[in-house]
Amino acid sequence: MTQPLTISQQARILKSALERGLIRPAELGLSPRGDSETLSEADLAARFQELLDAGRLQGVVDEAFGADTDATLAPGPPPLSRTPSGAYESVLLPEERALFPLPLDGRYLPLAFLGDGGMGAVYKAFDQQLKRIVALKFPKRLGQGQAERFLQEGRAQARIEHPNVCQIYSVDEHQGQPYLSMRFIAGPTLKEAIGRLSLEQQVHIVREVALALHACHRLGIIHRDVKPGNIMLEAQEDGAWRPCLMDFGVAQEQGEGAEALPGVLFGTPAYCSPEQAEGHLGGVDRRSDVYALGATLYTCLSGHPPFSPALPLPELVRQIVEEEPAPLGPPVPRDLARVVRKALEKDPARRYDSARALAEDLQRFLDGDPVLADGAGLGYRLVKCYRKNRALAWVAAVSLLAVVTFAAFGVAMAFRARAMSQAYQKYGREAEYLEDILNRSYTLPLHDVTEERARVQERLDQILASLGHLGRWTLPAARVALGRGYLALDRLEEARKELEAGAGRLPQDPDTALALGLTLSRLYQGELEGLRGQVLLDKKKDTEQDLRQPALACLRRARGARQDGPDYVEAVLALVEERYGDAIAKAQAYHRAAPWSYEAWLLEAEAHQALAALRLGEGRFEDAEVRLEEAGKALAQARNVARSAPLAYQGEVQRRLLTYQLRLDRGRATQADRDWALEAVDLCLQANPRDWKALGYRAAIHRRWGAHLLNRGQDPTASLDAAIAAAQEGLAWRPQDNPLWNNLGTCLRNRADWEASQGLDPRPTLARAVAALSRALDRPQFKDWLLDSIGCCHGQEAKYQLDHGQDPTEAARRAVACLTQASALKPWVGHDTTRGATLVDLALYQAMTGQDPAAAFAEARQAFRAGLHLNPRSYQAQAGLAQMLAERAEWALGAGRPPGGDLPEALDHLQAALALNPGLGATVFPALARCRALEALARPETRAASLRAAREALAQARPFAQEPGTALALAHAGWLLSRADPASGAAAQALATLRPALARRAWDAQVHLTQGRLLQALGRRPEAAAAFARAQALNPNLGRRGM
């Protein structure tokens, strides 16, 4: 470089180095917090020269001004440095470390400061719990209510499962400061890389971002700030670049040389759509993101945004709303320019309707096929001319609009309308024919309908194969016919895909709207099936935007679709709107008007079952049973009309399964109830032997009976093996169904529970469960449940290792990592409760082996409290937290330390658990006795009252003493009571209580340890020594802390 650099060039190089993390703000005399500061030209030049002489800027200078060697895209911030021991080392300056918003000795080790702008600070950090590099984002200047909005939107982005959307690992807050932990991407932004990407690379990148946007739009999430600076590029092994979309509706970055728009929460003006620039927040939807992505592609192709960000804000907004961007001329191909022009239309209705439509047109360009983007028609151009030059346009409008528009445009529209009408009629008849094949088959006596379903599927395959040869006006009708066929086969996901693709390009049609509305409503009801309480409310919230609201919109457009009466559509609407009484009344009116339709009876049954589920959640069991009986009557009528309809039998299976679960919950279920539920499954499989849903129900019935036997101490293996076989058969027909994989994993976990209770090694069965559950993790459906189940498997493995003298640390940490990831995807009390229980086991192992368990106990307490924050009425979380506090108090007393406030808090949580679930006596009363005995040992001043309360709790627990686990807990409490009051006779009584555990859990070292302690308290030292020896042989770790 022979010419000296100008101040402007030096500033540009320093800005680039700051964005890449090659230098720190402090090295320029700037605050890491990004406060408004300026440097004089002399200061800037001096600091630039110092950094250049030190070699800190050479790579950036070479790229900017043409080094002799081949330039490569900058990889982002410098690689991590490590200490000689292999640990990660922070490269933050002391003043930057002081500004890091989280504790420096906490979970995240800050490694580098990446940047600070309008959106807030971003750090590169090492997650010491999950052992991975992350990016941490801390927003700043959040007003009242905005912090919660930031957390909600971060959780929304965490639900997005797409390879081109930056993955959010967790959403959290510390002392009121919210933050995100997300995937760290070591690469440049598209803004930095534009100059060295080929045209094909640019189009490919924008296409992938469009598909990512479409995935997010389907979840109801609008980005509102798509621009080159929010698209990171990551190098792939084949040399290609994978784009990754950042800051989805969370950041308010003030980059790209512009200030925030008035009335707009997020957005960079140079890339804002007209409706966003004018502050019309109600008009900002997925098409606004399409505009921003079109502006991004325009920037890639031209080197600058469609409108200059250097303009004053009012003028920039005016140009965005009123002016057209400069045309993209050569060397940009004409078809690609047409795609950009369509994406940048002022009127949202004239843009691509979705990001997926934009991606499909870009793919056509890459494939060399004609694109679908059209130039503006003559009528549209005349209207725009009129709006811009109203006085002059009036003269031309009178003559030209009448002659040219109504002639040329009218002819084109007539041709389009005729082609669409013909296609719609043709494929509409095709769909009706396929539906008629199935409906006629369903009216025959009960038989296997596989052959008729195969005929329908064969014709659908033929239509699917023909799609590539259809014209643009006939394709939508064909896809709607496909969707209706899939709906008739109850293949709802495929039906939704085809109906949404076709319905968006057809005129508003009630029949198509009804088909899509029914598909979405059935998907919605399927998501809610079997859920109760808070879990049901959470699922409704999760599916509101993706399923319920679109279903309602379609059903409202479908009014009048059924010529045999409007009541059917109104009944479905009422069902989705949860007006169950109206749904029942409308369904009854419809089957009076159309007695040949079994669908009305199914609707009535669905409404009764939904009411039954509500009554169950309210604890009104008798009312729930009445509703289930009414549902049974309606389903019997449906089967009378359609004797081979799989949905009629599926509905009966669901009803019997709910009734069976109700009786299990109330302790009234018998084997006859199980067989009654299985009978409905057998009838369902007679109609359709490949019905994977029915096989899933069979697995659930057997699994719940197995769990019932397991809780009663009876052998559940036959039931669990039958459940496993049914789930595996269902997966053979539907391998992509995640709930069925979770069902299989739960069956295997229950079998492992039984094996562990018999002293057998459950780890091979647990390994099978983890393998099965892991096969479904690459799909987003029910991912949090799958991770929860895997975490439970690892927690069971840790418990087995704890009980058998092995080190459970690795298994426990695997469990905690899975459960933490599940909570990040979807907060739920169950994830936190299981995590807390696993951490208690880890703490007990540490105490047993002479380690300090304080940190593990504290982490367990935090997990239980997080669960109670989500659901204070969770009796499992209340009881789990009490158990943890009691364990910590007993450990503290054994170590000669005061237990602090653990025992009073534990007693409060035990009382709360019992109030929430009065049937919890077998767990709560022994725990109350234990806490009172520990209280007597810890506080001599209240010893008498504590001893009295302990004896009362023991007396309340004795009716449950035949269960081995309860017997062991009672014996342990009796031993503690004997220590507090040796003359009470508690040791002899506790030894007698222990007999069921000695008989049925001879493999359990804790049983023999407790026996030894009681014998020792009674002065029977030789017998005590033998019991201690047995305990240590079963669990060598017991001897490491002394008997």
Q: Which are the catalytic amino acids?
A: 225
Q: E-strand spans in 721-811?
A: none
Angle, alpha carbons 18-23-24 (nearest 5°):
85
Tokens representing 301?
């192709």
Q: Virtual CA dihedral for 764, 769, 770, 775, nearest 10 degrees?
A: 130
Q: E-strand spans in 602-752?
A: none
Distance, in Å, from the CA atom of 358 to the CA atom of 373, rounded to the nearest integer, reads 9
State which amino acid sits at residue 460: L
Tokens representing 988?
């002899």
Distance, in Å, from the CA atom of 1024 to the CA atom of 561, rounded to the nearest integer, reads 82
Name 451's Cβ contacts closer than 8 Å, sequence gap at least 6: none
Select from 113, 115, 56, 109 the least CA-distant residue to 83: 109
CA dihedral over 576, 481, 651, 588, signed as positive or negative? positive
Scanning 849-963, the segments in alpha helix (DSSP H) are 854-870, 875-894, 902-916, 921-938, 943-957
The span from the first CA to the last CA of the chain, in angstroms, equals 79
What Å distances lie between residue 698 and 130, 334, 525, 639, CA to CA?
A: 38, 59, 20, 20
3-state helix, strand, coil in the chain (%, to 5): 65, 5, 30
Distance, in Å, from the CA atom of 298 to the CA atom of 302, rounded to the nearest integer, reads 6
State which amino acid sits at residue 27: E
What Å distances lie between residue 985 and 391, 981, 1016, CA to CA?
A: 107, 8, 13
Name 954's Cβ contacts closer than 8 Å, sequence gap at least 6: 925, 926, 929, 970, 973, 974, 977, 986
Q: How many residues does the chain have?
A: 1043
What Å distances lie between residue 50 and 29, 43, 367, 761, CA to CA?
A: 13, 11, 50, 66
Half-sphere CA count of 814, side-chain side, radius 13 A: 16
426 annotated as a binding-site residue: no
Cβ(580)–Cβ(607) under 8 Å?
yes
Select from 725, 717, 776, 728 the least CA-distant residue to 750: 717
Angle, alpha carbons 114-118-122 (nearest 5°):
20
Cis bond upstream, residue 959 (ω within 30): no
Binding-site entries for ATP: 137
Binding-site residues, please?
137
